[in-house]
Amino acid sequence: MRILRQMTIAMITIGALLASTPAFAQNSTDTDSAPARLALPMATPLTISKMATFVPQAEKEQGLGIFLQGGWVRSSTYNEEGLPGFDTLTPSGVIFGVGFGGNKSGAFGIGVDINYVIKSADDVTFLNIPDEFFASGEFDTNVLNIPVYGRINFFGHQTKNSPTLYVVFGGFFDILISAKIADEDVKDYFHGFDFGPMGGIGFEAYRVGVEARGQWAMRTLQETDNGTFLNGLQESKAFSFVLLFKFRVH
């Protein structure tokens, strides 16, 4: 009887163990399958990758720019005290070229322009006594203008389309391409190279801008004292006012 009781207890114990084995196996399977369910968030790196791709595209719309520009220029002269003399020679004409830089996405940037300037003035008289040269009539010049400047953006400089007020300051270089009076070549009587400070203010919105600049040349107009304008410009330096219309292409 005692043996039968022990055998019964043993059989019940074995049955309980056998009954618990499938449950254990099921739990084990669930545990092993958990990583398969955790594999679903593997889509997250792809999403992050797309976001990472999108951010540089937004930044690419900012920063340094390329401008097509053109406008109007008016030159006068100023004396040794540095004051413009608008009652003397006043050639005027057109300016067109390309600009680089500006850093639209930041508060400060560096820029450089390459411009071509065509100016003319009526009724200009030039006399060179040693060379017995006299010319009178329309005065025409062609100049390569290269300003190098800093630009400070005051507001709205996050994207190309944001309205932005800015100032520019720096220097410029002028290279004389040609100079004629009444179709007579007088280039050799002028400095072929000039330089000086420049400054201005501008406004830009939706890739379109307008800018006003002043340029003060540091050298006198003439190469030597032999040639002289009868307009009284023998010791004069050029001051130029430039009005630019700009379009940002990049």
Interval 18-56: pLDDT, tens: 455 444 444 444 444 444 444 444 545 545 445 545 444
Strand pairing category for 193-205 and 184-185: unpaired
Are residue 107 and residue 210 in the same domain, yes or no?
yes
Clarify whether residues 13 and 83 are in a common domain: no
Picking from 57, 72, 101, the residue at the C-terminal end of a domain is 57
| Single-letter code of the amino acid located at 106 | G
The stretch 90-100 carries a mean pLDDT of 94
Examine the domain organization and report whether 28 and 141 are in the same domain: no
User: In 3D, which of 227, 238, 242, 214 has the Cα closest to residue 85?
Assistant: 238
How far, CA to CA in Å, does 58 sit from each of 10, 52, 63, 159? 75, 10, 11, 9
Q: What is the mean pLDDT of the chain?
A: 77
**Co-location of 52 and 92 in the same domain:** no
Asked if residue 94 has pLDDT above 90, the reply is yes
In terms of phi and psi (left: phi > 0; alpha: psi -120 to 50; beta: otherwise), the region of 224 is: beta
Query: 34 with 72, same domain?
Result: no
**Residue range of the domain that includes 53:** 2-57
80 and 107 together in one domain: yes
Residue 177 pLDDT greater than 90, yes or no: yes
- Which of 13, 39, 57 represents a domain boundary (last residue)? 57
pLDDT at 3 over 80: no
SS3 91: coil
The three-state secondary structure class of 247 is strand
Of 116-120, 212-216, 221-225, 244-248, the range with the lowest mean pLDDT is: 221-225
Asked whether the beta carbons of 113 and 97 are under 8 A apart, the reply is yes
Residues 42 and 128 in one domain: no
Which residue, 115, 66, 72, is CA-closest to 250? 66
Per-residue model confidence (pLDDT) at position 53: 52
According to the model, what pLDDT value does residue 80 have? Answer: 62
Answer yes or no: is pLDDT of 5 > 60.
Answer: no
pLDDT score for 45: 52
Domain boundary among 22, 41, 57: 57
In this prediction, residue 88 has a pLDDT band, given cuts at 50, 70 and 90, of low
In this structure, the answer to whether residues 122 and 187 fall within a common structural domain is yes
Which structure tokens are listed for 77? 């002269």
Looking at the structure of the chain, the number of domains it has is: 2
Are 114 and 42 in the same domain? Answer: no
Q: What pLDDT, on the 0 to 100 scale, is given for residue 227?
A: 66
Q: Are residues 52 and 70 in the same domain?
A: no
Please state, in angstroms and rounded to a whole number, the distance separating the CA atoms of residues 142 and 156: 37
DSSP structure class, residue 56: H
User: Are residues 101 and 137 both part of a single domain?
Assistant: yes
Q: What angle do CA 17, 18, 22 make, to 5 degrees?
A: 110
What confidence category does residue 158 fall into, taking pLDDT thresholds of 50, 70 and 90?
low
Q: Looking at the structure, do residues 85 and 205 belong to the same domain, yes or no?
A: yes
pTM above 0.85, yes or no: no
Q: Can you tell me the mean pLDDT for 160-177?
A: 92
DSSP state of 131: T
pLDDT given at position 40 = 43
* Closest of 189, 182, 187 to residue 137, by C-alpha: 182
**pLDDT score at 57:** 45
